[in-house]
Amino acid sequence: MLDLTYEAPKPKVISGAKEDWELVIGMEVHAQVASKAKLFSGASTTFGAEPNSNVAFIDAGMPGMLPVINEFCVEQAVRTGLGLKAEINLFSAFDRKNYFYPDLPQGYQISQLYHPIVGEGEVLVDMAPGVARLVRIERIHIEQDAGKSIHDMDPHMSFVDLNRTGVALMEIVSRPDIRGPEEAAAYVVKLRQILRYLGTCDGNMQNGNLRADVNVSVCRPGQYEKYQATQDFAHLGTRCEIKNMNSMRFIQQAIDVEARRQIAILEDGGSVDQETRLFDPDKGETRSMRSKEEAHDYRYFPCPDLLPLEIEQDWVDGIAKTLPELPDEKKARFVSDFGLTEYDASVLTAEAEAAAFFEDVATGRDGKLAANWVINELFGRLKKEDHDITNSPVSAAQLGGIIDLISKGDISGKIAKDLFEIVYTEGGDPAEIVESRGMKQVTDTGAIEKVVDEIIEANPSQVEKAKINPKLAGWFVGQVMKATGGKANPKAVNEIVAKKLG
User: DSSP characters for 173-215?
Assistant: EE-S-B-SHHHHHHHHHHHHHHHHHHTS----TTTTSEEEEEE
> How far is residue 33's CA from residue 56's CA, in Å, rounded to a whole number?
18
Task: Please state at what angle helix 445-458 crosses helix 490-500, rounded to 10 degrees.
Answer: 50
Residues above pLDDT 90, as percent of the chain: 77
Give me the pLDDT at residue 442, please: 65
Confidence of residue 293 (pLDDT cuts 50, 70, 90): low
User: How many angstroms separate the Cα of 468 from the Cα of each of 174, 455, 464, 473, 501?
Assistant: 68, 18, 7, 10, 10
Q: How many alpha carbons lie under 13 Å from residue 125 in its C-beta half-sphere?
A: 25
Mean pLDDT, rounded, for 342-356:
96
Mean pLDDT of all residues in 168-192 = 97
Residue 431: Cβ within 10 Å count: 17
Give pLDDT, residue 292: 60
Q: Report the C-alpha gap between 433 and 456 in whole angstroms.
A: 33
- Residue 87 pLDDT > 70, yes or no? yes
Higher per-residue pLDDT: 168 or 410: 168
Contact in structure between 112 and 142 (CB atoms under 8 Å):
yes
Query: What average pLDDT does this structure show over 337-343?
Result: 95
Tally Cβ neighbours within 10 Å of residue 311: 18
Non-local CB neighbours of 352 within 8 Å, separated by 6+ positions: 196, 197, 324
Is 375 exposed, middle or buried (CB count within 10 Å of its CB: 0-12, 13-18, 19+)? Answer: middle
Residue 453's pLDDT is: 81
Q: What share of the chain is helix, strand, coil (3-state, %, to 5)?
A: 40, 20, 40
CA–CA distance from 144 to each of 47, 69, 428 (Å)?
16, 11, 50
Average pLDDT value for residue range 299-324: 97
Residue 205 and residue 202: Cα distance in Å, rounded?
9
Percent of the chain with pLDDT over 70: 98
What is the distance between the alpha carbons of residues 241 and 291, in angstroms, rounded to a whole number? 10
Average per-residue pLDDT for the chain: 92
Chain CA centroid to CA 235, Å? 33
